[in-house]
Structure formats: C-alpha cells, structure tokens
Amino acid sequence: MKDGTRTEGRAGGPGDATVTPRTDATPHTEEERQDARHTAGSQRHGHALAGILGPAFVAAVAYVDPGNVAANITSGARYGFLLVWVLVLANAMSVLIQYQSAKLGIVTGKSLPQLLGERMGDAGRFLFFMQAEVIAIATDLAELIGGAIALKLLFGIPLFWGGCIIGAVSTVLLHFQGGSTHRMFEKIIIALLLVITFGFIAGLFMDPPSPADVLGGLVPRFSTVDSVLMASSMLGATVMPHAIYLHSTLVNDHYSGGQRKPSTKRLLLGSKVDVVWALVLAGSVNLALLILAANSLYGMTGTDSIEGAQHAIVTVLGPVIGTIFSIGLLASSLSSTSVGTYAGSEIMYGLLHIKAPMWACRIVTLVPGLTVLWFASNPTEALVIGQVILSIGIPFAIIPLMRYTHDRELMGEYVDGPVKHAVFILVAALIIALNVALIALTLLGIS
C-alpha cells in the first residue's frame, strides 16, 4: 500500500458549485469506491472480508512452536492450573503486538525491516541484520529439534536424520511462498495449524478437566518463587521477534501476484479480525497443553523435556493420544521452521536489500541446528539456550515498532493516539523487563 493511499476522498462541501445528492448505495469517498470495486471482484471468492484473512494465521505459528509446547506442559505438570491466567494475559498482549505490526505494514506498504533499513546507516543496518539473523537461527534451532524429536517418537528415526528430513520438507513448503502461490503457502500453514490444534487438544476429550479448576486458574496469584520464575518465562517468551518482523510483510505479500488491495480502512478492519481469530486459536492450543498437563500429568516427574512429556501422556492417556500428540508436534515443527526461514529472508531483504534464494536462507538457519543434533547429548538443553537468545532480540523488534506506529509523519491519520501508545509502552516494558529477568536468572543458574 503506497503512502498516497492513506488520504481519503472528500465529499463536496458548501462552497462547491454542484453537490451531487448521495444515496445509501452511492460510494461517498475514494476508499468506499475501492471497497465497492474490491467487493464486486471478490464475489467469486466468497465474502470480501474472507479474502483478507490469512497473514495472522501464518504469524501465529510462532506461538505454538515446540518451545512453547515444552514450557506449557512443564508449567501444568508442576503447578497445576495455577498459571492459566499467565497464558491468557500473554495472549492478550500478543494480539496488540501482532496487530501493530500488521497495521504498520498496511499503512506504509513496507515491512518493519524495510523501514529500519531506510533509517539506519550501513554499519547500523549490518549490525542489526546480524542480531536478527542470530535470532532466526535460534528460532530454527527450536523448531528443528522439536521436529526431530517428533520423528523419533513416531518412527524411531535418529535425531540427526530426523532433522535432515524436517529441513528437506520445510524447504519444499517454502517453494509455495511468494508470487501467485503465496495464498497456497498460507493455506498449507493454516492446515498445519489445524493439525497442531487437534494433536494438542485431543487429550482433553479423553480426560476432561473440571471447569471450576480451569476458572480458578484465571485468578492472578503465585505459590512459590519457582512459580514466579515460570510465569516470567512464559510471559517473556510469548512474543517472538521473527513474528513481529514478518507480520508487517505478510499483510502485503498476501496481495502479491497483481491482486487488487482493498482500502486501508478495510484492510485494518480485516487485520483486526485476522489477528484475533488466529491468536485466539494459538492461545487455545497453549491453554489446552497447560490444562492437559495440569489435569492429567500434575505431580509427575520427567515432564520438563518433550520426550518426557510424551512418555507421561502415553502412560496416563494411552498410546493413541501419545501418537496424536507427536503428530501435532511434527506439524508444529514443519510450520514453525518454514515461517522462521521466511522471516529471515524478509529481514535480509529489508535491511541489506539482498533478495537471496529461499533455499540459501534455509541452509543458513538449518546447518547450526543440524550441528547441535549431531553433537549435543541432550538437545532439549539447546532449547533453553535458544530461548535466552530469542529474549535478547525482542527489544530490537518491539521498540522500533512502538516508535513507528506513533510517528504521525509515517502513519498519517492512522497514527496511534496517546492512550493506545501508553498501553503499548506498558506492554512493551513488561515484555522487555520479563525477558531481561529471564536472561539474568538463566545466566545466574537460578531458573
């Protein structure tokens, strides 16, 4: 969306020589006329709003990656329903963050990495890219390890070769990203997200929790110092840097291939719906994992690793549910690693103006993960290190996003008002503080 599209049309005023009477069926502004044309052209695809949905579902994959799976199950197994409220709060914050990223992309027609690249010198752009690339590698590390573990649980494949399979399949998925096949990429990711949802909530139907216990978990409270640390970890790891960078790109790539965009106002409305639906789905998956663990695995030991959690699920709920859980984990890995590489490619393009082939970006993030799988005796420990690295990168994404959406010169009439900006500052400060605390506690060996 070019900057010029932010200016709305204006109806004739009192000083105009001729004022055309307006009926309810007559488009009043240029944006309304764009909406009318878009709606007419979208009838063969169903309701016009449905054509806007999709980008947030791709970004939401970051919220149901293997790292979140391990954290939520560990929380439920250790503390029962105590920290349900933490996930609800985390999901509410993620809705705001992801919508702001989408809004920036819609209004400016540029991604967050592109805007950063335009406002930084050569040295700054390179250093910013290097930290973002490290974040992309750490992200892919978690997804690759999770997928390799899933293949080992399902088929007994060694971790390294499982990682190779995940890398190969995710590279094929990336073939559909961009151009006329981008909508197909979105559909594949959404399908995988639905598999994840089914795989991770199936156990709730076998052993339904008490509604009273779940509602009791919505009351903010802690039990021990350890539960405070777990809450900090869950909250601090909610927003993934690559999801912030990528969402501002996805809203524009959604209309690649010569497709006409709706008006800015309609895109913003559609994006709100898109973000809410997508993150409610992702949040429900995370809640289901925590509730499943709280209800069926509470007090069991050995659930602080993915393999241990799957073994506990098999022991309590049976091998069928354990297999479905592993399938959900596999889908989580495939979708997350594809989206992570996509984000890395867009970051490189925005900051360095280099449009590298997707397979090359895939190799850059894949090799470190495969190295860990080959040499590490306990790959789950690598997930902890990866989480710390991701925490370091979060301020680099949130702070510029917060500044740009409050820049009237950049956003025009869609600039954040003082109240929304204040809320954004509060949310950003909370997320950054929790991540700083998480880094410090991890380095001190406390968490």
Per residue in 184-234, pLDDT (tens digit) is 887 888 888 889 888 888 888 888 899 999 999 999 888 877 787 788 767
Q: How far apart (Å, rounded) are the C-alpha atoms in residues 278 and 83?
A: 22
Domains of the chain, CATH where assigned: 55-443 (1.20.1740.10)
Site of tokens 């590390």: 141
What burial letters (b/e) apply to 337-365, b meaning 16+ CB within 10 Å? bbbbbbbbbbbbbbbbeeeeebeebbebb
Q: How confident is the model at residue 439 (pLDDT cuts 50, 70, 90)?
A: confident
Helix (H, G, I), strand (E, B) or coil at 169: helix
Mean local confidence (pLDDT), 10-21: 41
Q: What is the pLDDT of residue 442?
A: 67
- The per-residue pLDDT of the chain, averaged, comes to 81
Q: Answer yes or no: are the C-beta atoms of 1 and 108 closer than 8 Å.
A: yes
Q: Regarding predicted confidence, which is higher, 435 or 268?
A: 268
**Helix and strand tally (H, E) in the chain?**
18, 0
Mean local confidence (pLDDT), 341-349: 86
Helix (H, G, I), strand (E, B) or coil at 14: coil
Residue 427's nearest CA partner among 169, 202, 105, 90 is: 90
- Does pTM top 0.85 for this prediction? no
User: Which tens digit of pLDDT belongs to each residue from 254-313?
Assistant: 876 666 778 889 899 999 999 999 999 999 999 999 999 999 888 887 777 788 888 888
Whether the predicted pLDDT of 408 surpasses 70? yes
Residue 239's nearest CA partner among 191, 289, 275 is: 275
Enter the tokens of residue 204: 């709730």
Q: Answer yes or no: are the C-beta atoms of 201 and 396 closer than 8 Å.
A: no
